[in-house]
Structure 1
Amino acid sequence: MTAVRRVVSLVPSLTEAVAATARELLVGATDWCEWPADLDVARIGGTKNPDVARVVALRPDLVIANEEENRAPDLAALRAAGIEVLVTEVRSLTQAFAELERVLVAGCGLARPGWLAEAESAWAAVRAGRPGRVAVVPVWRRPWMVLGRDTFAGDVLARLGIRNAYDGHPERYPRVPLGELTALGRADLVVLPDEPYAFTRDDGPEAFPTLPAALVSGRHLTWYGPSLTEAPAALSAALDAAR
């Protein structure tokens, strides 16, 4: 690989990771890349609908993407334009750490950042202390969708002692009728992240009147980057408050 001096990120988590390590490399990011808040780069559309022509015009040495967040046709179009595209797969915390190192060290040619070691240490110190808690974890409504099998967020919760009620579902993000979600005995907790759907505390009592609700930061639950350093403490506090 030639020296990387210009990077376009199609993933908010990876944008934050590169910015925290070598901000000067970033020349483009999606409209959803909100961290760091003062990031001043070209905006190239959404994760699912990037402006491919605009990305090409930025002349990046590398585009970083994710197999879940970005569409294969867009990535193929970038490759056809002669741009190198690095696609990550992140479905567990262990995989997140490995992929972050691949992006930053192998992909961007940077030294392994200190914040990555800090994040690994923060999670190594976690001791699950909520035995037996089972949660429904909505990620969308109208229609209702929840975390299913094989997801990064599900693995994060499992490490904090929370079992996903739908971790055995054949789909990764199943649509589930509300009546089934609220069936007695399925779960004793509902975890409501504020993204991709901006759930609020009112969504818990409305849909899950018998369950305590933990309102959590989507950045801490679903992002893999510098936020992983503070995620164990932030998520634990929110989960412990839901009694």
Structure 2
Amino acid sequence: MKLIDQLGQNHVFEKMPERIISLVPSQTQTLYDLGLEDEIVGITKFCIHPYHFKSTKTKIGGTKKVHTEKIKSLQPDIIIANKEENTLEIVNELKEICPVWVTNVETLEDNTQMIKDFGLLFNKRVEAQKWNDKIKFALDNFKLYIKDKPSYRTAYFIWREPYMVAGAQTYIDELLKLNKFKNIYADKTERYPEINLEDIMREGDPQLVFLSSEPYPFKEEHAFEIGRFTHHGKTVFVDGEMFSWYGTRLSQAFDYFKKLHEKL
């Protein structure tokens, strides 16, 4: 079986991989949703869905730092990584153990392709098609819903000390655009630029300031701190999983987005 991952890397498998290690939380959930629970032998400490994996699967570290010897001991025949979440150093190191399949999801089309690829890779074509059909149906419905909604200048914060926001060519920015949230930092060259709060008015004067629940857990005191510099902006705490978890999780995001718009 010859397949190409989303970085254009060629992979040849003599048989379907049966021992999977997943290095990304959203991809762990997607593999589970495709019916691959028994094949998943290792996950990261951040893989919190499904909940019972916490006690049934082996933790192999985080997304940026892994325990190589523990991974070796699990004898995987494939490791599922991601260009953004995992470092090139980790990927190259783990290639010495077994093939490393790397995803790259920046757009909704990329997301569809990733699920389709998993279907081919693990002989779950029917399941993958069902999920892609489900997501497309929900997406088409949401596009009708959002059609007449107003557009808002928006800043989406992901980190503090230093303050960082989502920029262009990110999956978060893709979902912001889908929601007609105009990302004021989409013209930055960095995908996740560091910013100074003092400059936020000059750089776009956002009407909405989104504080994500992950990867940094923003709290009320941070909203107050940021609010001192965004005189016209409404600060809103948002579920980071809905904006940044790709894969099958996207199917749950559209109802969340509708509720978010109703609150605005």
Same fold (TM over 0.5): yes
- Is 1:101 paired with 2:123? no
Give the secondary structure class of the aligned counterpart of 2:258.
Answer: helix
Partner of 1:233: 255
The change in CA–CA distance for 1:185 and 1:21 in structure 2 (over 3 A counts) is: closer
The change in CA–CA distance for 1:24 and 1:116 in structure 2 (over 3 A counts) is: farther
Deviation per residue, 1:127-171 (Å, 9 max, x gap): 234333110111101100001111101101111111111011111
Partner of 2:213: 194
Q: Given that residues 28 and 55 in structure 1 are in contact (C-alpha distance below 8 angstroms), is that contact kept between their aligned partners in structure 2?
A: yes
Q: What are the ranges of 5 or more consecutive residues in structure 1 without an aligned counterpart?
A: none
Q: What are the ranges of 5 or more consecutive residues in structure 2 without an aligned counterpart?
A: 1-12
Give the secondary structure class of the aligned counterpart of 2:65.
Answer: coil
Counterpart AA for 2:24: V
Partner of 2:246: 224
Q: What's the CA shift for 1:215?
A: 1.6
Q: What's the CA shift for 1:17?
A: 0.4
Counterpart AA for 2:47: C
The change in CA–CA distance for 1:36 and 1:212 in structure 2 (over 3 A counts) is: same
Q: What's the CA shift for 1:193?
A: 1.2
Q: Given that residues 15 and 29 in structure 1 are in contact (C-alpha distance below 8 angstroms), is that contact kept between their aligned partners in structure 2?
A: yes
Indicate the larger mover: 214-223 or 200-209: 200-209
Partner of 2:80: 64
Partner of 1:33: 47
Could you tell me how far apart the structure 2 residues matched to 1:122 and 1:201 are? 33
Partner of 1:160: 179
What aligned pairs does 1:76-95 form with structure 2 within 5 A after superposition? 76-81=92-97, 83-95=98-110
Q: What's the CA shift for 1:219?
A: 0.9
- Is 1:24 paired with 2:38? yes
Q: What's the CA shift for 1:183?
A: 4.3
Partner of 1:13: 26
Q: Identical aligned pairs, as a percentage?
A: 28
Indicate the larger mover: 59-68 or 111-120: 111-120
Q: Given that residues 184 and 204 in structure 2 are in contact (C-alpha distance below 8 angstroms), is that contact kept between their aligned partners in structure 1?
A: no
Corresponding pairs, count = 240
The change in CA–CA distance for 1:223 and 1:189 in structure 2 (over 3 A counts) is: same
Partner of 2:6: none
Q: Given that residues 4 and 109 in structure 1 are in contact (C-alpha distance below 8 angstroms), is that contact kept between their aligned partners in structure 2?
A: no
Q: Given that residues 148 and 172 in structure 1 are in contact (C-alpha distance below 8 angstroms), is that contact kept between their aligned partners in structure 2?
A: yes
Deviation per residue, 1:189-217 (Å, 9 max, x gap): 11111000112344323312432122211
Give the secondary structure class of the aligned counterpart of 1:50.
Answer: coil
What aligned pairs does 1:106-121 form with structure 2 within 5 A after superposition? 106-113=120-127, 114-121=130-137
Indicate the larger mover: 65-74 or 91-100: 91-100
TM-score, normalisation: structure 2: 0.86
Partner of 2:7: none
Could you tell me how far apart the structure 2 residues matched to 1:165 and 1:97 are? 27
